[in-house]
Structure 1
Amino acid sequence: MKTIAIIPARGGSKRLPYKNRLALGGIPLIVHSILYAQQHDFIDDIYVSTDDEVIKNIALQYGVKVIDRPVAISGDLEPTVSALKNVLEQIGEVVENVILLQPTNPLRPKELLKDAFEVYQKNNCDSLFTVTRNHQKLGKLSNGVFIPFNYTIGQRSQDLEPLFYENGLLYITKANLIQEDIIISDKAFPFEVDHIFATIDIDTVEDFQYSELILNNYSNE
């Protein structure tokens, strides 16, 4: 049974135009995820799903396979699972596991995917996704009043009840779930990541500048 990696990379983006092509650390944003996937020998094939000719050519230059994404599933509001499902339909092969690497999360700890895939297999998971603990005091605004959500006023940050957020670094899912439009199942394993890379998710110019700062600092370690 095959394990494949899919990197969905649309050409359009409203808040940061052509972000998946932008150079981060001297290479296009999408290439970070391609190179990361290529470091793992348990991945049988790497696919880039795109509607953009420039991105397609970049991906081909780095030796991965490209699936042309139909315009109908390339809009801003289209869920990621549509691209994954389309890849599976187009390649027409029997696939067991799909690893989703989003180009907007370009920096990942070196051992993360290897460790996560081992847990995924050992625990016979149907899906796995990465999470990171939140350490902020959160609340909501109601009629001009701030209402604490995860703490009481005056409570110390270190005493907060542990809450976690989906950081987007990676997802591993059974291919049959994707055929049912599911990436994260009800029984998905939440793989905890405590790393500065988990704070990066590029959607704006400011996000991109932040990722450059983190990348530069990390490279100098």
Structure 2
Amino acid sequence: MKNYLVLIPARAGSQRLPGKNMRSLGSKPLVGHSMTYAQELGFEHIVISSNDEKVLEYAQQAGVEVIERPDAFAGDEEPVVTALQHAVNQLKKKFKAVILLQPTNPLRPKGLLKEAIATFEREDCDSLMTVSRNERKLGTISNNCFTPYNYKMGQRSQDLEPLYYENGLLYIFKTELLNQGKLLGEKNYPLIVDHPFAEIDIDTEADFKKAELYLKYFK
């Protein structure tokens, strides 16, 4: 794990759920779940990038390296790639790849990261992202008329063409992609995750309540 850098971006200023990164989910703050997930696998290089003093202090107390993120890289419209670029430049070390763990996806299957790294190395890909199958009947609405998009009226759900969504559980990408302002390369491997945790992405109070239930009932 020496050649991998685990980056956890945790900016302050959430509009829909203020202070969410330090809000307790179970026995630890939201951001703590991603930190612990990486620590349990023995990564040597785990870094929190944040402009939130409470997050930085919590990470330091947990033995995780911190990088104070400039407010210029922490706005609502700022892409996460700029924060990651800043963090890697501050470290001034060379890594084979970066593992991105977002605090808003705090619940992950235990063996997922180990499987992802093994797949990333076996497939020799530029990047890897986790995806899950969408089994809903989707359509568009125009002039108050619903038009099916991925199915035909009357078609059974189990007969739908397989479609997948980006669940955000984790990403792995070669560091050179960051220099190009990218997280995903041309050779991007989609690792399929079939687990209830893939449904959790916390942006609202309802999302948080759902995460509390899933943490309690799923492993």
Category of TM-score, reference length = shorter chain = over 0.9
What is the count of residue pairs matched by the alignment? 218
Amino acid at match of 2:14: S
Identity %: 51
1:39 paired with 2:40, answer yes
Gaps of 5+ in 2: none
SS at match of 1:95: coil
* Correspondence for 1:133: 133
Listed as ranges, the matches of 1:61-210 within 5 Å are 61-210=61-210
- Structure 1: distance between partners of 2:107 and 2:216: 11
Gaps of 5+ in 1: none
Shift of the alpha carbon at 1:116?
0.8
SS at match of 2:47: strand
- Structure 2: distance between partners of 1:198 and 1:218: 12
Q: TM-score, normalised by structure 2?
A: 0.97
Amino acid at match of 1:15: R
Shift of the alpha carbon at 1:2?
2.2
Cα-Cα RMSD: 1.0
Shift of the alpha carbon at 1:84?
0.9
Q: Deviations over 1:79-134 (max 9, x none)?
A: 11111111111111112210000000000000000001001001111100000000
Shift of the alpha carbon at 1:218?
2.3
Task: Name whichever of 72-81 and 201-210 sits farther off.
Answer: 72-81
* Correspondence for 1:11: 12
* Correspondence for 1:29: 30
SS at match of 2:151: coil
Amino acid at match of 1:16: L
Shift of the alpha carbon at 1:179?
1.6
- Structure 2: distance between partners of 1:126 and 1:75: 28
